[in-house]
Structure 1
Amino acid sequence: MPSASTSLAVVAGLVVGAIASAPAAASADAVPGQLVVGFHGSVSSPARQRVIEQAGGRLVRRLSHIDGTVVRVRAKGLALSALQRRLRGQRGVRYAEPDYYLKKSTEPDDPLYAEQYALAATGAGAVNAPVAWTARTTCAKVAVLDTGAQYSHPDLTGNIWHNSHEVAGNDVDDDHNGYVDDYYGVDLVKGRDSGVDDEGHGTHVSGIIAGHGDNGTGISGLCWTGSVMPVKFMNSRGKGSSSDAVTGIDYAVRMGAKIVNGSFGSSSKSTALADAVDYAQSKGVLLVFAAGNDGTSNDSAPEYPAALTDSNIIAVAAVTTTGALASFSNYGTKSVDLGAPGDSIISTYLGSGYKVLSGTSMASPIVAAAAAMLRSRDPHLSYSQLRSAILSSTQPDAALAGKVAHPGVLDVGAALASAP
């Protein structure tokens, strides 16, 4: 058996080419000064008029006879919240609620967005991002264990985490965490400095998570604004040791990441890496791992760390534009959880450019980004709640039946709606 220092290779491998109702007065998402009031069917038109006027309102329009009568009401000389309270206390009134604004599905203005089938609202291989974007476009911090990131990329700058307790370039370990000048993440290959990418893979993964959205430039990540922590443990050839992967998980946890993406793997099981996964679990950290690109079953020929059985892991297979399991993707009903787009994915790349890559490396980060979006909405969600929300709301996909534990594709819009 290979030792614990066995190299862990980049998984991508395949390069294709270069609501609860708030008080009305406090609702910014509703028509100012206006309520929608529902009456029981037994309440006559004159009685409705009388109830509204006595409460301090003015009937504007009858809307429908759904389960009685629904009307539009405006406040007359008093606060809308007071009118709402008065109406809710009247006999015959079923509800009095804000007249909520309804928004169209939001899509970014990034010029390459049209090529990002993975983010579309429809399609078997898409994750329904526009529905999620109507509610949230920001995401919590995600540590990316990879080859680093080009933090100066115009579609990433501003979305890269920086160590606020460290002074960049002063050759001092200011925060006493054991690393000198780890300002934009850390380079574990060198043992110091920021996690600068010299291979490209990590920059591509980072853009999938948090390429600036709606900025008129390049692509959009699932997170329009976010915080990607580059933890570089793989070198310019896309290889890194399990000992550095262990160190990388430790660094991510110590620096406050609650979500970690790992687009790497090996057929050799490292006990040290398994211990690091256990440690992350004890600290409440969700780990999202690529299933691997061998086109084989992880149940019978495991790819680690994706095949580890800890409850804080989500293992991700890759699907194509049609929702079919990608020919290169590993699978397994016991060891792989769900599918996500991983075939012909365009994202940020070295030299401030963009590139199309395929692999489960591209599928994993979009799931990590979905978890970060959920955690941004509620930072108290546990890894088990994040995991449950994502896996219980997948879009059913017959092509994944008998291939993954939850036979469906990530649906970030549904996950956001279902999270506690």
Structure 2
Amino acid sequence: MSIHGRIAVSFLVPLVTALVAALPAAAQKKPEVNPAPEFIPGQYLVRLRTPGIIGSSAIQALEEKAKGKVLRVHENQNFVLLQKPLIQSAEGALMDIQSTDDVLLVEPNYVYRVNKTANDPDLGKLWGIRNSGQQDSSRQAGVAGIDVDAERAWDITTGSKDVVVAVIDTGVDYRHPDLAANAWVNEAELNGKPGVDDDGNGFVDDVYGASFADPAKPTGNPMDDHGHGTHCAGTIGAKGDDGRGIVGVSWDVRIMGVKFLGADGSGSLEGAIQAIDYATRMGARIQSNSWAGGGYSKLLEEAIQRADAANVLFIAASSNSGGNNDASPVYPATYNVPNIISVAAIDNRGTLADFSNYGRTTVHVAAPGVNIHSSLPGSAYDSWSGTSMATPHVSGVAALLVAHDAYATHYQLRQRILDGARPLAGLRGKVSTGGVVNAYYSLTGQAPPEDPNDPAKWLQQSANFSTPHPYVKKELIEWELSIPGATQMALYFSKFQTERTYDTLTLKNRAGQTIAVLSGSMDDSFSPIIAGDYVKLIFKSDDSIEKYGIDITGVAFR
């Protein structure tokens, strides 16, 4: 169906109806919903009812009743890793284990993955730290001031070597020229005997951190064999004012490498729990987590709760599926533990990245995450995108806060970060603060100013347009809207629910140039700002998955 209309100020007049050509078939589509959680086939984490008793008799009884083999015992966390035959379905295996009298809890050994999105490898700029309007590596011009306001913060503090940030990831290249000076060092192991667990923490020669990429054989070497963790580490704390490479948000800091994601960017629930507990035990006050996956895990939640009890701030990526975490939780970012900050990603113009997850209540703040230039193993640098790249910006700000006030609790740090977020119109309704992390306002406690380009502060006028609810397949609807005398406009969407990427609303100016192509979920939000007094809107749907559609009930202008 095709509908054409014209709106003068706030009026819509339908003109024409016609058929349009089909768009790609359903078989070519990517699902919008989160896929079923991935886990290691046949492996389950099992907690017995009697705490602290995981002796040989208990293991033997479990193996017999659950018809499996205990691969490893984790006495400190009170669970075992059980292997079941691969020919048995996951549902059947879970039922077998749950029916065992001695079992209190059973969970699949979930798989977690990095949150990097592939990107143009051209040299980028550190717009996330200082945005003067320069182009990023994709040649998109930025908007000055859309950054974490690090330069003003550095007039107050550039960090401290007493602050330890754990990068729980693919490891860290602690020999990188921009990271070596800020690498965390376990002095007991550095000055101890090779091949000996000098500090008695259960790990041999863990000088720069530890690796749980193979949970069966943890090692004391967190060297990065992927790149993701090193990229995150550079944004947090690449050495500043040293005449080379890049600078992190915190010039001076200690980066602890805690590896549980392997060379392919994936890791297990078992490894994640061990990694978090190691970082907590070894004194990392800030834990930076640029990974997601799996389903809800009580055992993983408990590891984060142990970190919470140890005064640790847990900063996590919201994920890269473009979904609403309020409706479809993503872990670990969405656990209801009070030490968590969940982070969305914006580009250098302050727009929520199209891949970024969001959530009015469960995602807390945004940070730069598109075409972020940072360190890679072997003295290299590159620009990557993802909520993975946004998260270390927040971790770096947290490190500055701890350096400035070492006695602040993790709850106080969290609140300062949220209170200091600078409002951006495009983040209203997308993150709980409605803003982007700001180091200066978080450090000073000053109230950040309102967004001067927020259409909510402009003149308002009603409008009245709706697609059919739900819209139909192969639909084409066109409108025109004009506000005589306006120099800028923005449409208000009271409801906006379309299939992301495939069912779109295109905005064009009077010259026919495309201003934006919108899709997905944008309830209670304004469109990108439209220069001039005119806009043409084109709604197209493909031949599958019809959603609610769009209600435009207002227009802001100035």
Equivalent residues of 2:196, 2:204 under 8 A apart: yes
Structure scoring higher RCO (CA < 8 A, sep ≥ 6) equals: 1
Q: Distance in 2 between matches of 1:246 and 1:240?
A: 11
The Cα shift of 1:355 comes to 0.8
The Cα shift of 1:121 comes to 6.3
- Code of the residue aligned with 1:132 in structure 2: it is A
Counterpart secondary structure, 1:166: helix
Deviations 1:123-170 (A, max 9, x none): 353111100011111142101100111111100111010111113781
- Pick from 126, 129, 136 the counterpart of residue 157 of structure 2: 136
- Code of the residue aligned with 2:368 in structure 1: it is P
User: Residue 506 of structure 2 corresponds to which residue in structure 1?
Assistant: none
- Pick from 373, 381, 388 the counterpart of residue 346 of structure 1: 373
- Pick from 125, 133, 139 the counterpart of residue 146 of structure 2: 125
User: Residue 74 of structure 1 corresponds to which residue in structure 2?
Assistant: none
User: Residue 176 of structure 1 corresponds to which residue in structure 2?
Assistant: 200
Equivalent residues of 1:243, 1:272 under 8 A apart: no
Q: Quickly say closer, same or farther: Cα 1:342–1:169, change in 2 above 3 A.
A: farther
Is the counterpart of residue 10 in structure 1 residue 114 in structure 2? yes
Deviations 1:245-290 (A, max 9, x none): 1111111111011110000001411211111111111111110000
Q: Distance in 1 between matches of 2:407 and 2:120?
A: 39
Counterpart secondary structure, 1:356: strand
- Pick from 148, 153, 173 the counterpart of residue 176 of structure 2: 153
Q: Quickly say closer, same or farther: Cα 1:289–1:392, change in 2 above 3 A.
A: same
- Pick from 325, 338, 346 the counterpart of residue 319 of structure 1: 346
Is the counterpart of residue 207 in structure 1 residue 234 in structure 2? yes
1:56-205 alignment to 2 at 5 Å? 115-120=125-130, 123-139=144-160, 140-167=163-190, 170-189=194-213, 190-205=217-232
Counterpart secondary structure, 2:444: helix
Q: Distance in 1 between matches of 2:313 and 2:177?
A: 28
Equivalent residues of 2:237, 2:251 under 8 A apart: yes
User: Residue 412 of structure 2 corresponds to which residue in structure 1?
Assistant: 385
The Cα shift of 1:346 comes to 0.3
For structure 1, which segment, 371-380 or 315-324, has the greater mean C-alpha deviation from structure 2 after superposition?
Answer: 371-380
Equivalent residues of 2:111, 2:294 under 8 A apart: no
Q: Quickly say closer, same or farther: Cα 1:136–1:144, change in 2 above 3 A.
A: same
User: Residue 242 of structure 1 corresponds to which residue in structure 2?
Assistant: 269
Equivalent residues of 1:121, 1:129 under 8 A apart: no
Q: Distance in 1 between matches of 2:294 and 2:272?
A: 15
1:233-272 alignment to 2 at 5 Å? 233-272=260-299
1:287-298 alignment to 2 at 5 Å? 287-298=314-325
Q: Distance in 2 between matches of 1:338 and 1:4?
A: 31
Equivalent residues of 1:119, 1:126 under 8 A apart: yes
Q: Distance in 1 between matches of 2:257 and 2:108?
A: 23
Provide the identity percentage.
41
User: Residue 37 of structure 1 corresponds to which residue in structure 2?
Assistant: none
Equivalent residues of 1:393, 1:414 under 8 A apart: yes
Counterpart secondary structure, 2:271: helix
Q: Quickly say closer, same or farther: Cα 1:198–1:169, change in 2 above 3 A.
A: farther
Q: Distance in 1 between matches of 2:253 and 2:335?
A: 28
Counterpart secondary structure, 1:158: helix
Equivalent residues of 1:125, 1:319 under 8 A apart: no
* Structure having the larger proportion of residues in helix: 1
- TM-score normalised per structure 2: 0.57
Equivalent residues of 2:131, 2:348 under 8 A apart: no
User: Residue 277 of structure 1 corresponds to which residue in structure 2?
Assistant: 304
The Cα shift of 1:393 comes to 1.1
Q: Distance in 2 between matches of 1:327 and 1:336?
A: 15
* Structure having the larger proportion of residues in strand: 2
- Code of the residue aligned with 1:374 in structure 2: it is L
How much is the aligned-residue C-alpha RMSD, in angstroms? 1.6
- Pick from 354, 359, 365 the counterpart of residue 386 of structure 2: 359
Equivalent residues of 2:117, 2:386 under 8 A apart: yes
Equivalent residues of 1:119, 1:128 under 8 A apart: yes
1:329-344 alignment to 2 at 5 Å? 329-344=356-371
Q: Which 4+ residue blocks in structure 1 deviate beyond 2 angstroms?
A: 1-4, 13-16, 121-125
Q: Distance in 1 between matches of 2:145 and 2:295?
A: 34
The Cα shift of 1:407 comes to 0.3
The Cα shift of 1:193 comes to 2.0
Deviations 1:48-105 (A, max 9, x none): xxxxxxxxxxxxxxxxxxxxxxxxxxxxxxxxxxxxxxxxxxxxxxxxxxxxxxxxxx
The Cα shift of 1:179 comes to 0.6
- Pick from 213, 237, 245 the counterpart of residue 218 of structure 1: 245
Q: Distance in 2 between matches of 1:16 and 1:121?
A: 19
Q: Distance in 1 between matches of 2:128 and 2:220?
A: 34
Equivalent residues of 2:131, 2:145 under 8 A apart: no
Deviations 1:95-123 (A, max 9, x none): xxxxxxxxxxxxxxxxx8x8111111663
Structure 2: give runs of 5+ residues left out of the alignment. Answer: 1-36, 40-106, 133-143, 447-558
The Cα shift of 1:13 comes to 3.0
User: Residue 406 of structure 1 corresponds to which residue in structure 2?
Assistant: 433
User: Residue 80 of structure 1 corresponds to which residue in structure 2?
Assistant: none
Counterpart secondary structure, 2:109: coil
For structure 1, which segment, 368-377 or 8-17, has the greater mean C-alpha deviation from structure 2 after superposition?
Answer: 8-17
Counterpart secondary structure, 1:165: helix
1:26-65 alignment to 2 at 5 Å? none
Aligned residues: 325
Deviations 1:171-214 (A, max 9, x none): 11111101111101111224112210000000000000011111
- Code of the residue aligned with 2:171 in structure 1: it is G
User: Residue 32 of structure 1 corresponds to which residue in structure 2?
Assistant: none
The Cα shift of 1:332 comes to 0.3
Equivalent residues of 1:260, 1:288 under 8 A apart: yes
Counterpart secondary structure, 1:375: helix
